[in-house]
Every structure is written in C-alpha cells, then in structure tokens.
Amino acid sequence: MSRPMRVLILGGTVYLGRHLVDAAQARGHTVTLFNRGQSNRELFPEIERLRGDRDGNLESLRGRRWDVVIDTSGYLPRVARASAELLRDAVEHYTFVSSISVYADNTKDGIVETDPVAELSPGAAEELTGPTYGPLKALCETTLESLLPGRVLVVRAGLIFGTHDTTERSGYWPSRLARGGTVLAPGSPTRPIQLIDVRDLAEWIVRMSESRTTGVFNSTGPDRPLTMGSFLDACRVVGGSEAELVWMDEEFLLAQGVGPYNELPVWVPEQFHAFETVNCSKAFSNGLSFRPLIETLRDTLEWDRSLPLGPRISRVGVEIPGSMTAEREAELLRAWEARTRSPAT
C-alpha cells in the first residue's frame, strides 16, 4: 500500500467514477469529487464535493491542491484543455480515462498502443456523436499530454462491464440467460470478445495513480481468450437455467436491422473485430488483473435484478438505445426459423 493520497475525481458518481471512489477509499486515500451534482446525489455523503461544470465553470477547483486527478468525464478537447490548464500546477499526476475507440483501424488484430488513432474530418465541429467519439477522445489525449508532458496516464478502456452500468449492456445477457427459453445468440460461438469488470479497472487505475505511472495503456480483458460461446455458457451457469442458444449469423442480424453493442450487447460485427482482439499485454505487465468471470456475472445479475424498469441514461446525459426486447427477439427467432427451413437457403 502506498502513502495516502489526496485524489480529485472529475465525475465520481456514475459507473466507473463511483467504483473509483470505492477503490480509492479502500486503499486509504482522501477523495474530492468535482461534478455538476446532477447524478446520484445521495452517494458518498462523507466526501468533499465541489460543484461546477467541466465546460465553463471550474472556479471551485481554483486555489486547491491534490496529489492526483482522475478524469472520467472528458469527452471534448476544449473541456480537457480547460481542466488541464487549471490543474497543471495543482496536481502531480493526471489520469485520463479514454477508449479503445480512438484507433483508426477497425480490423487489425492485436491493436497496440502505438497504432494510429482516428482523426476528425477536416472542418468537423467539436461535437460529440457516435462517429466523433473516438477522434475526440484521441484529441483529448494529445491535449492533456501537451499541457502536462510526462505526467499523464491514458487508460484506453474497452467494454466496461458490471454493477451500476448506466446502460443495459452489462445486465442484458446474465438476465436473459437466467430467464431461460430459446435465446438468440449473435454471430459465432468461437468469436473472441473482450470486457473488463468495472471494479478491476477502477482498482488498477488507483494503483497506477499511486505509482504515478504515465503513458498509454490498452485496458480491457480478460488476460486469457474469451469467446461469445463461453461467455454465454457462463451466463447460463450463473442464471441457473437450461436456456437453448440459437446462433444467428451476423449477415442475417444486420439485414434485420439489429443494432450491435447496444441492442445486442457485447456483439460487434466482423468489420469491427479489432475491438475484440486488442493487445493489453502492457497493462497486464503493469499489474492489471481480473476476478473470475463467474463472479462478475453473478454480481451483475444480482444488481440488475434490483433495478426499476425503464430506460437508462448515459454518463454524458443522453438516453442510450435499449437492449433487445422479448418481442423483438421472438420476431427474429421466427424469421430465422423460416429462413433456415426455406428450400432457397
């Protein structure tokens, strides 16, 4: 255990942020939160909270000092710049949570940290959308490094999975397999997938901040091959069901307008397979470790069952498309059965 730190978290009440608070406190650190105070206000009543807005009102940060800052809520370069300019003389170390979506090549197996990142189209506005998310994150990274050279840790996270997910991505499969019956399974059972328990990521980030480690790290998992088939089998075990999996090829799913990643979580089409084979050996060598998948799924299922029904709100304040409904799944299963029975196929 390192000496106690004063940790500033930009965010801190939503998903990864709240797990970072838990991890930092468990390791004896004093935490300050900076956010707008709009999400989960009841959390962490014992922690100092500074109110403000990343995009225009940072005054409550002025004149203060911390050992490290962990930035979970930077999506736009101008926002990252404003924070870095104010904090560069107030912190020793800056951790920025980025994304594997920064990479330019969607198809390369084994992407490493030195591979090219995506760029905004010439003249494109600094506006957060699906297509601009990765390029804007990449610009945030370079902005921070230019203002705090040699003091920035960039965590390029993949699919963060687990309790308190603000989307339906984590809860969908454990809950769906637990309900049993005939289950639509996307693509191939041998297709590799990657994900990381939010608690494992949070604890590693805190330890990396303690050691003031800098540089860029791909940070997903697990540290051994995981396939869609073995993932769904584990969900079935956790749910205690005898669900029957019906594997549908992705060409059919895409033709039916099925939305990857959100409507059918974890699954991404073959054209984006680079994001399921990311090389994270650098992070593994620096202590990133993983709890058993069964533990992640069991805890996620228990948490998901405790939630009220209704749409989730993303950490950037917009409604996320919901996961597949039972009605939609039944419709697709009927269409698949009709297709496989057709003499023309």
- Contact predicate 97/16, CB 8 Å: yes
In the DSSP assignment, the letter for residue 334 is H
* pLDDT given for residue 318 in this prediction: 46
Q: For position 124, what pLDDT does the model report?
A: 83
Separation CA 248–CA 262 (nearest Å): 17
Q: What does the alpha-carbon distance between residue 189 and residue 249 come to, in Å, rounded to a whole number? A: 10
Rounded to an integer, what distance in angstroms lies between the CA atom of residue 20 and that of residue 11?
A: 10
- Alpha-carbon gap, residue 282 to 196, rounded angstroms: 15
Residue 310, C-beta contacts closer than 8 angstroms, at least 6 positions apart = none
> Which residue ranges of the chain lie beneath pLDDT 70?
1, 309-321, 342-345
Task: Give the pLDDT of residue 214.
Answer: 98
> pLDDT value at position 72?
95
pLDDT for res 92: 97
Token couple for 272? 């984006």
pLDDT at position 161 is: 98
Residue 255 exposed, middle or buried by CB count within 10 Å (0-12, 13-18, 19+)? exposed
- pLDDT attached to residue 271: 86
- Domains of the chain are 6-161+196-219 (3.40.50.720), 169-193+223-276+291-340 (3.90.25)
* Listed residue (344, 338, 337) closest to 244, CA to CA: 337
Give the residue carrying structure tokens 């397999």: 177
**Where does 118-229 show beta strands of DSSP type E?**
152-157, 160-161, 182-186, 196-197, 215-219
